[in-house]
Amino acid sequence: MINIEIINTEDKLDEFRNLYFNSIPEPQELFLELLINPYKELDTKPPKKYLIKIKETDIGYCIVNSEDIILEFYLIDNYIPICEDIFKLVLTKLSISKAFCKSFDSVFLKCCITYHKILKLEGILFRDMIEKDVEKPHPNLKFRIGESEDFSQISLFKEGFFENNGELKVYLDNKRLFCFLINDEIIGCGIFSRIIKNRPDFDIGMVVHPKYRRKGFGTYIINHLKNFCLENNWRPICGCGIENIGSRHTLEKAGFVSKHNLLEFQF
């Protein structure tokens, strides 16, 4: 019988997470990363981070949030042949109820499939692009980097996009937000955020004022953000909730292609 030790510590976590990111074929999802390393402005309770050991050897790690959802599970190559056995012990010892798993995270996915009782599609992950021609939806549309003075205007249509006022302020303070304007009225904004420090992957997203929706502005903003990232030698990626059909169509019209999902497993 395998005997593992699970230690609540952040020792070696950065080293193991770097190995983990190198082992998966696509970049991390920002939604998950903000559950793991949340901005202090999000009022998200930090997760617990565990080192997994066998006979004093560090073999991997896992991260579990305050709702007993496992967000990451990684083992070094020598222990992948027994990954399901180790995962079962982790589920039991930590009383884990659910998992959020990216469909391209093959080892974690394999373990979740082995023991799950219920599977739900949680989100759509876009990691590929094709060329698309996107027309400017209004001749007077202009853009610029957002300033702190834009907070009040953006607040009028931020609901459902920014978690709270604090998150909007983070993007403005860090110059990671473009404002799109017609005659000095902010009609929408686009955000870009590096997901993992020292890696070239940037999550992009947009929100449009309700009276300007379904007129091509969202697609134009996403296309602008995509090209801005590519010009800076960054890789643009994005995602949306499984039920957010409007966002999915907007991203696809801007040339993004989804081959992956975010999955929720219940054990």
Do residue 176 and residue 211 come from a single domain? yes
Q: How large is the angle between the packed helices 83-93 and 106-115, nearest 10 degrees?
A: 60
70: confidence class by pLDDT, cuts 50, 70, 90: very high
Is 0.85 surpassed by the pTM of this model?
yes
Do residue 88 and residue 165 come from a single domain? no
Examine the fold and report which residue of 67, 96, 116 is the final residue of a domain before the chain moves on.
Answer: 116
Do residue 185 and residue 87 come from a single domain? no
Is residue 32 included in any domain, yes or no? yes
- Residue 163 has a pLDDT of 85
- Residue 266 has a pLDDT of 98
What pLDDT digit, counting tens, does each position of 132-191 carry? 999 999 999 999 999 999 999 999 898 889 988 999 999 999 999 999 999 999 999 999
CATH number at residue 44: 3.40.630.80
44: confidence class by pLDDT, cuts 50, 70, 90: confident
| Chain Cα centroid distance, residue 31 | 3
- For residue 55, pLDDT over 80 is answered with yes
At 30, phi and psi to the nearest 5? Answer: -60, -40
If one counts every other C-beta atom within 10 angstroms of the C-beta of residue 74, the result is 22
Do residue 19 and residue 131 come from a single domain? no
35: confidence class by pLDDT, cuts 50, 70, 90: very high
Mean pLDDT, the chain, whole residue set: 96
- Residue 25 has a pLDDT of 98
Do residue 134 and residue 252 come from a single domain? yes
Domain that holds residue 85: 5-116
Do residue 69 and residue 147 come from a single domain? no
Q: How large is the angle between the packed helices 217-231 and 245-253, nearest 10 degrees?
A: 50
- For residue 112, pLDDT over 90 is answered with yes
40: confidence class by pLDDT, cuts 50, 70, 90: confident
CATH number at residue 155: 3.40.630.30
- Residue 138 has a pLDDT of 96
- For residue 1, pLDDT over 90 is answered with no
- Residue 159 has a pLDDT of 86
Residue type, 193: S
Is residue 121 included in any domain, yes or no? no
Q: Where do the DSSP E strands lie in the chain?
A: 5-8, 48-54, 57-64, 69-75, 98-102, 118-129, 141-145, 177-182, 185-194, 201-208, 235-241, 256-266
What pLDDT digit, counting tens, does each position of 13-22 carry? 999 999 999 9
Is residue 183 included in any domain, yes or no? yes
- For residue 43, pLDDT over 80 is answered with no
What pLDDT digit, counting tens, does each position of 76-107 carry? 999 999 999 999 999 999 999 999 999 999 99
Quote the percentage of the chain above a pLDDT of 90. Answer: 92
End-to-end alpha carbon distance in the chain: 22
| Token code pair at residue 133 | 């021609």
